[in-house]
Structure 1
Amino acid sequence: MPKPKSGIARYLSELRYRLIWAKESRHSSAAARSALAHPNNPTLEDVKTFLRTLTPRQCGKDLVRIGPDEDGGYLLPDDLDGIDALFSPGVSETLGFDLEIAQRGIQCFLADASVTKPDGLLSNMNFMQKFIGPENRGDFVTMQKWIGENTADDTDLLLQMDIEGAEYDVLPGIAAETLARFRIMLIEFHDFDQIFNADTFNRLQSLFARLSETHVLCHLHANNTVGYTSVGGLTIPPVFEATYIRRDRVKGDLPHAQIPHPLDQHNSNKRPNVQTPHFWAH
């Protein structure tokens, strides 16, 4: 068993992480300013207008935190009763969220071709050594097929997705009726540091507009493990954790949600603790 770090060693380790974070921030900010100068890319006002659409709303239900402290824990509405199954593409060393969901009696389906079957799975947890992708071939299977082979058509589902940027290939390929089966969706979105690139900007706009047709964004949390982009008065984290609830589960006018929420935790306490930006205030 490794020895615990001394106070000085721990300080030096955290300082190293902070210096890396600052270097990443400078690099991504410089790239954003360069992209802004290109006439075919979105303007700063275009980006601000889009980011204002990412306004989390109160959903009329308390949020609960499920999963471990720091990275791997998520906030979601306390509306899990009656959900039949969790689908969780992207498996990390931390299975705390999935295990807590399984302990609530919800069937859990996990998929990731980059890891072997994790130890300690409960009897109602199923692991598939495949990547979730836009088509069925080789090591890839679509969400559509994965869900269809494991659940009845009339059940409510829970989605927890962290697939390192592949969400932009996978989510658009899910049929509208299948997407609407997810009562709650927890999705980690990547590549926001590239939002000033026209292709990335259009991809983000298209996907978030589609998700908003069936679901309401009810929580937004910036992941602080990588450096942030700062340009034109905006601070943009590259990675967000977004919580969605299906529109039929909410009623009436939906005021702005509290961001940060009291249950929020920074993904890493070794990196600077920058708060989730309030884009809707710009």
Structure 2
Amino acid sequence: MKLKNLTSDKKDVVLDIVELIKPVGITEQLIRVGSENDGGYLIPLSAHQQDALVSPGVSSNSSFEISFADQGTKCSLFDASVLGPSMAHDNIEFHKVFWGVENNDDTINAIDWLSENIDKNQRNALQMDIEGAEYDIINHMPINVIDMFNLVIIEVHGFQRILKSENTENIVNFFKKITQNHKVVHFHPNNNISPVQYRGIDIIDCFELTLVRNDYPYFSGLPGSVKPHELDMPCVPEEIEISVNWDQIK
């Protein structure tokens, strides 16, 4: 990857983001929910009990959502690129639209929909895999809307763009927003794109984050790790798993 337009403080910006998304320790086990490879995520055991799950970005794999639906969770799925979830379920409601920040032919205003349809007083989870649209949506989303979710799983795309100065502000604001009242408890790199190194820091392009709200009762007070968990599996099964050197960065 050819790096252009780097600012002198780019390393500091990257390190600030790394510190925001390094996992914190918890005292309960992580479980894998969903498929073995892409479409499966690690979450805390107690977080598998939810009243509602909102999931924009379904594609052809609904195993994560079905696991919640089987437990009685009311699941709302959004994706204009598919006809529906991989299987029908009484607890799944499908919307054939993309998430966005306005309404048009194939896009729904995510903020308006959440404000009108999600009860902030119940247990809510958000799973978002929307191929890079996460930056604009989260940056437009009021913090009180994000705070409706005690569990947030986001697949982050295009992180290597942080190395180009024209992308810095939008990306930095995104990470500040999602960690304002939530903490990362699991980090997993997607192995679909190889990492690059910038001034001794591994920069991956795509990764999965599991976050819990600050009122989660099982924080250990100890740091977690970016090392692969025993339940992690490569998103692309025919490619080797990748890791980052963030634990060694001071």
CA deviations on 1:99-143 (whole Å, 9 max, x unpaired) are: 111111101100011111235220110000111001223322122
Equivalence for 2:109: 142
Q: Any conservation in 2 of the 1:75–1:243 contact (CA below 8 Å)?
A: yes
Count of residues in correspondence between the two structures: 248
Counterparts of 1:122 and 1:44, CA distance in 2: 47
Q: Any conservation in 2 of the 1:42–1:197 contact (CA below 8 Å)?
A: no
Secondary structure of residue in 2 paired with 1:76: strand
Equivalence for 1:176: 143
Report whether the alignment pairs 1:111 with 2:97: no
Equivalence for 1:63: 30
Distance 1:252 1:65, change over 3 A: closer
Distance 1:198 1:136, change over 3 A: same
CA deviations on 1:206-232 (whole Å, 9 max, x unpaired) are: 111122221011110000012222232
Counterparts of 1:192 and 1:118, CA distance in 2: 28
Deviation at 1:270, TM superposition (A): 1.6
Distance 1:46 1:177, change over 3 A: closer
Aligned pair partner of 1:261 in 215, 229, 239: 229
Q: Any conservation in 1 of the 2:143–2:177 contact (CA below 8 Å)?
A: no
Structure number with higher strand proportion: 2
Counterparts of 2:117 and 2:219, CA distance in 1: 34
Counterparts of 2:175 and 2:96, CA distance in 1: 29
Distance 1:234 1:39, change over 3 A: closer
Equivalence for 2:187: 220
Q: Any conservation in 2 of the 1:42–1:198 contact (CA below 8 Å)?
A: no
Moved more, 139-148 or 56-65: 139-148
Counterparts of 1:81 and 1:240, CA distance in 2: 21
Q: How does 1:110-129 map to 2 (within 5 A)?
A: 110-129=77-96
Q: % of aligned pairs identical? A: 29
Report whether the alignment pairs 1:204 with 2:153: no
CA deviations on 1:37-69 (whole Å, 9 max, x unpaired) are: x36474334323432332100133221100111
Equivalence for 1:248: 215
Aligned-residue Cα RMSD (Å) equals 2.0
Scaled by the length of structure 1, what TM-score is found?
0.81
What is the one-letter code of the residue matched to 1:152?
Answer: D
When Rg is computed on C-alpha atoms for both structures, the one with the higher figure is 1
Distance 1:48 1:140, change over 3 A: same
Moved more, 199-208 or 158-167: 199-208
Secondary structure of residue in 2 paired with 1:80: helix
Distance 1:252 1:192, change over 3 A: closer
Q: Any conservation in 2 of the 1:228–1:238 contact (CA below 8 Å)?
A: yes
What is the one-letter code of the residue matched to 1:260?
Answer: P
Report whether the alignment pairs 1:191 with 2:146: no
Equivalence for 2:238: 270
Secondary structure of residue in 1 paired with 2:117: coil
Structure number with higher helix proportion: 1
Distance 1:116 1:50, change over 3 A: same
Q: Which runs of 5+ in 2 are unaligned?
A: none
